[in-house]
Amino acid sequence: MEVKILWTDFALYQLEDIYDYYKYKASPTVAKKLVKAIVNESLLLELNPFLGAKEPLLADKPFDYRYLVIKNYKIIYRFTQNLIVVVSVFDCRQNPEKIHRLND
């Protein structure tokens, strides 16, 4: 079974924000390294889509959301058939209630 990973526009936008923030606050090298680490962590899901724990704050949503943690970020995704959809890269230093803003 070949599993594909799809990043939503919202998740890609969040990755860009992360890059821009660290590019300004640290350096382009640090920013690139962090974004690359986040993307590489998501690639683990191709081998095991159920690797991440279920996200309890999204239990009321129609999909079964899971997450992986990398540094201060949660990669929030859902798995249906042969497709992993990354819906958000959530900064865990925020108010957890903000996680409900997902429109997916």
Per-residue pLDDT of the chain (104 residues; tens, 9 = 90+): 689 999 999 999 999 999 999 999 999 999 999 999 999 999 999 999 999 999 999 999 989 999 999 999 999 999 998 999 999 999 999 988 888 777 65
pLDDT value for 96: 87
Token pair of 86 as six digits? 């990354």
pLDDT value for 95: 87
- One-letter amino acid identity for 9? D
Domain residues for the domain of 81 are 4-101
pLDDT value for 41: 97
Domain count, the chain: 1
pLDDT value for 103: 61
Q: Give the domain CATH number at 73.
A: 3.30.2310.20
pLDDT value for 104: 55
CA atoms within 13 A on the CB side of 72: 10
User: In angstroms, how far is the first alpha carbon of the chain from the final one?
Assistant: 25
